[in-house]
Structure 1
Amino acid sequence: MLRDRSHRIRFGLLRWYAAARGYRIYALALILAVPDILDALAGVDFTVLLPPGWGAKAASILAILRVVLGIVIRRMAMIGPPPPAAGSR
């Protein structure tokens, strides 16, 4: 079940990638820049913008996103084309 879901996600990403044609380089640059953007946001003090008590929550969410997105982006590089369908040639 989990394997089917991961194949569907990979296939969906590959379909999206093929449909993006001219915008691929921009989408890739944005995806690769997200961890750097989150690193830059780590130094911003959001306590004046957020309600009391939310500053620590926002900082922890940003820290978790930085770690998770780094892992996700590295794994996206390993996504290859789906295996060929079994059948006669």
Structure 2
Amino acid sequence: MTIEEMIDLQERGARARAIGLALSDNPFLTAGHMPVHGREPTADWLARHDAWKFGWEAEHASREGKLPIHSTYHTPVVFRSRTARH
């Protein structure tokens, strides 16, 4: 799967959540998209399934107000020396 395809699937998952579809409406859970033994590697199918699911979950989290706060962002603190002249 290319990066463009992954992004497209994430966007499709987000749009699906935005229009009210359930997580279980993931198109990769339908019989036509399920991997058939010997035709498509399961890892490829799983990557597509997970990309769509990720988009759906991200949109769901944003609508529920549960977006994670990025823990590595810190407001810089500026210390001034007591001996510094202003």
Same fold (TM over 0.5): no
TM-score class, shorter: 0.3 to 0.5
Structure 1 length-normalised TM: 0.33
